[in-house]
Structure 1
Amino acid sequence: MAATFQPGQLVRVNLAGLDAGGVTFQAAVTDAVAHIVKQTSEQPPKYLVELLFTFRGVSHVEVPADRIYAGK
């Protein structure tokens, strides 16, 4: 069962290979820091996250829950 995340929660996300806003994140982007914005899907669970960095104008990405880890 996937973890449930709350809006505003600090998390780390694995963006390797994901596409967002015309940007494909490279394999090295496996530990990006972000905040949960909201849950966008229950099955499969996905969340919209706001990255603490902007890459080529992209700062919000929809990420599957299995690629999200609680921040440290």
Structure 2
Amino acid sequence: MFEPGATVRVNLSGLQVGAVVFHQAVTAAMARVVRQTSQDPPKYIVRLLFTFRGVSEVELPEDRILAS
């Protein structure tokens, strides 16, 4: 479980957000947890510490998030 505000590393490899597709090399992007959106399965909104083609927040399952 991750707390809001926690700094984490996220695996965006192969993920598509709108028209943006993250390449296989994006496996350890830094982000901050905004909030948990689901408990079963656990999912979180994270705010990336960078903006890529207008994408700065993504919803990810817990298995794509690592404590930093």
TM-score, normalising length from structure 2?
A: 0.95
Pairing partner for 1:26 from 23, 31, 36: 23
Runs of 4+ aligned structure 1 residues displaced above 2 Å come to none
What is the CA RMSD across the aligned residues, in angstroms?
0.7
| 1:1-59 Cα shifts (integer Å, max 9, x gaps) | xxx00000000000001111321111000000000000011111110000000000000
Pairing partner for 1:47 from 44, 48, 57: 44
Q: List alignment gaps of at least 5 residues for structure 1.
A: none
Q: Distance in 2 between matches of 1:21 and 1:9?
A: 25
Percent identity of paired positions between Structure 1 and Structure 2: 63
How many residue pairs get matched? 68
Letter in 1 for 2:6: Q
